[in-house]
Amino acid sequence: MATPLVAERILSALRVEGLTVVEVGNWRSRSRNHVGPWGPVHGVMIHHTVTEGTARTVQLCHNGYVGLPGPLCHGVIAKDGKVHMVGNGRANHAGLGDPDVLRAVIGETRLPRDDEATVDGNRAFYGFECENLGDGEDPWPDVQLEAIERVGAALCRAHKWGAGSVLGHLEWQPGKVDPRGFTMGGMRARVADRLGVDVPPPLPVPKRPVVDLALLRTAALSDPKRKDSRVTYPGVRTVEVALINEGLLAKTFGDGHYGLATLTGYSRWQEQLGFRGRRPGQPADGVPGLRTLTPLADRHKFDVVAG
């Protein structure tokens, strides 16, 4: 049981473990946190994708598909051993699973048979999809198996977990067969061996500003009505700096008060992304939402907490 790692800490853990990591699009702020909780985390879940072709597989796991929005995992482990990061937070990968299995993972004891599907796994596990058809015939290259081992060890090491915190989807949810083509018992043994080998200490993690979307929206809805310029939420300043750098807000208004100028600047940002008012010809409302704040955060290197 642990607080989820921030994006930079995940990257550091994976790279220190010797992995080649590819950052995909807005993965740092791409999550399903707006539909359910993320954390505390208890382990690392391994899947196979039932796809072929790395580019297609990564795109699918990042975007999702009709009926199951992305991200579909946190990272994709390709056949060449590279780890493509596609999500950071709650992801649609684990679904409902067995509470007895969860207790065994937390206690790092022998996993029981999974015969229930009543506990939310998307909040509790990091998920890694591995590029493989899952038909029992598609080969697992040694470099890919080693990457799976290293991913499991990296996150276990970061959280001070043992190898018992690594499990397969087939051990969590009744009816699942992934990953197919190697045994999770064998993989846990590999992870345990790797955890016995010292690695360099993790690299220092640079801190990024964090903006709470709920508090930001409160400021956007209340501050323009005020006669004064009181700062309702200090995180407004982070957004204002981003708008200033985009050329959408004059520097003199970067004071942390979400006044009319900031509302107008954010409205212009929304319109750049294709958003408009509810009626024809009406400008965008200037009130931040996840779909407009996330790309601004990605461009200007701050994180968003969506609640």
25-53 residue pLDDT tens? 889 888 998 889 999 999 999 999 999 99
Average of per-residue pLDDT across 197-214: 82
Binned at pLDDT 50, 70 and 90, residue 299 comes out as confident
* pLDDT for 158: 95
| Biggest alpha carbon–alpha carbon distance for the chain | 70
CATH number at 7-195: 3.40.80.10
Mean pLDDT, the chain, as a whole number? 93
Q: What is the pLDDT of residues 150-188, one digit of tens each?
A: 999 999 999 999 999 999 999 999 999 999 999 999 999
Question: Six-digit token pair at 191?
Answer: 């992870």
Question: How far are the Cα atoms of 1, 76, 80, 81, 280 from residue 135, in angstroms, in the given order?
Answer: 33, 18, 19, 20, 52
Residue 212: strand pairing partners: 305
The secondary element (H helix, E strand) that includes residue 85 is strand 83-85
Place of tokens 């809805």: 221
Question: Six-digit token pair at 21?
Answer: 């990591």
Binned at pLDDT 50, 70 and 90, residue 204 comes out as confident
Q: Which long-range contacts (CB under 8 A, 24 or more apart) does 239-244 make?
A: 239/211, 239/266, 239/288, 239/293, 239/296, 240/265, 241/300, 242/296, 242/297, 242/299, 242/300, 242/302, 243/269, 243/296
234 preceded by cis ω (within 30°)?
no
Q: What is the pLDDT of residues 111-132, one digit of tens each?
A: 999 999 999 999 999 999 999 9
* pLDDT for 276: 86
Residues of each domain in the chain carrying CATH 3.40.80.10: 7-195
Cβ count near 51 (within 10 Å): 18
Report which DSSP code applies to 70. S
* pLDDT for 1: 61
Minimal CA–CA distance to 87: which of 69, 102, 105?
69
Q: What is the pLDDT of residues 212-244, one digit of tens each?
A: 999 999 999 999 998 899 999 999 999 999 999
**307 pLDDT above the threshold of 60:** no
In sequence order, which residues have a C-beta less than 8 Å from that of residue 137 and are 6 or more positions away?
A: none
* CA–CA gap between residue 201 and residue 287 (Å, rounded): 42
Torsion angle, alpha carbons of 235, 239, 244, 246, to 10: 160
Q: What is the pLDDT of residues 1-28, one digit of tens each?
A: 689 998 889 999 999 999 999 999 889 8
* pLDDT for 29: 82
3-state secondary structure of 110: coil
**203 pLDDT above the threshold of 80:** no
Minimal CA–CA distance to 193: which of 241, 246, 156, 235?
156
Q: Strands 83-85, 75-77: parallel, antiparallel or unpaired by DSSP?
A: antiparallel
